[in-house]
Copies of this chain bind each other. A is one copy, B any other.
Amino acid sequence: MERHFERELEVLKEQLLLMGGHAESIVLKAVEALRRRDETLAHAVFDDDRRLDRLEIDIEERCVRLLALQQPMARDLRFITAALKISNDLERVGDHAVNIAGSAVKLAAEPMLKPLVDIPRMAELASGMLHEALDAFVGRDADTARRLVRRDDEVDALNRQVFRELVSFMIEDPSTITHAMELVLVARNLERVADLATNVAEEVVFIAEARIIKHHADESAAGDEFGRS
């Protein structure tokens, strides 16, 4: 029984890593579709999102089964409840990628406003954060997780920069408004992906220390509350 439980937990970890890998790559793929104005690639994102949806259901079912049959205690219990929340976060990453791919489809027929630099950089950062957060989760590595929570600021700063730049484009040439608005929304979706990676990192600290940092972090960053988050 004990050994069976350990094996089931291993499978759960593997499924989460798999789902994390899909979440990382769907974000990069969506932004690549935008950058290359590639509608086919954008449609691949819609398919990938459905794969993430199915993985979430599988993980949820496994967690409920583990809770029901194994009645785990303390550390394992927290690990399983965290897994439930993390799979939900990763599923939302897919939704943001779908939004970005939708923008890619809309913009595919138009000339670029300018070569995209900051948006692909945001996608790399957010996707890298997802990777590290999942690694920290399976390794129960609270130190890495804590560093990640701070890295979210970098993505927020890029988001504000993209926003300001696009607003000046719009002011200079109102014919760019619809296009630029789309890119503002893309940047916001990426910023939300970084937030979701941060959520995962917070869960890691939670299960490692059975202590909730996220709202303390909010409090110490109270001066930021006017910033887009």
Contact across chains for A67 and B67 when beta carbons are under 8 A apart: yes
Segment of A23-31, A98-106, A142-150 in the binding face: A98-106
Cβ of A50 and Cβ of B215 under 8 Å apart?
yes
When chains A and B are docked, how far (Å) is the Cα of A68 from the Cα of B222?
A: 34
Complex alpha-carbon distance, A68 and B71, angstroms:
7
Instruction: Say yes or no: is A161 at the interface (Cβ < 8 Å to chain B).
Output: no
Chain B residues, CB < 8 A from A57: 212, 215
How many chain A residues touch B (CB < 8 A): the figure is 49
Chain B residues whose CB sits within 8 angstroms of the CB of A184 once the complex forms: 181
A67-B81, A68-B74 given; A228·B174 CB < 8 A: no
Residues 130-179 of A contacting B (Cβ, < 8 Å): 163, 167, 170-171, 174-175, 177-178
1/0 per position for A106-121, CB-CB distance to B under 8 A? 1000000000000000
Report whether over half of chain A's contact residues are helix, strand or loop; otherwise say mixed.
helix
A225 with B167: CB separation less than 8 A: no
Report whether A102 and B60 are in contact in the complex, using a CB–CB cutoff of 8 Å: no
Identify A60's interface contact among B77, B212, B229, CB under 8 A: B212
Residues of B within 8 A of A81 (CB): 63-64, 67, 81, 84
Q: Which residue of B lies closest to A80 (CB)?
A: B67
Report Cα–Cα, A214/B50, bound state, in Å.
11
| CB-based nearest B residue for A222 | B46
CA of A228 to CA of B101, assembled, Å: 11
For this complex, 29 residue pairs linking A to B, each with C-beta atoms less than 8 Å apart, are A46-B225, A50-B215, A50-B218, A50-B219, A53-B215, A53-B218, A54-B215, A56-B215, A57-B212, A60-B212, A63-B81, A64-B77, A64-B78, A68-B73, A68-B74, A81-B84, A85-B88, A88-B88, A95-B229, A102-B225, A102-B226, A106-B226, A167-B178, A171-B174, A171-B175, A174-B174, A181-B181, A181-B184, A188-B188
- Extra 15 A-B pairs, beta carbons < 8 Å, given A57-B212, A99-B229, A174-B174: A46-B222, A53-B218, A54-B215, A63-B81, A64-B77, A64-B78, A64-B81, A68-B74, A81-B84, A95-B229, A167-B178, A170-B170, A170-B174, A170-B177, A181-B181
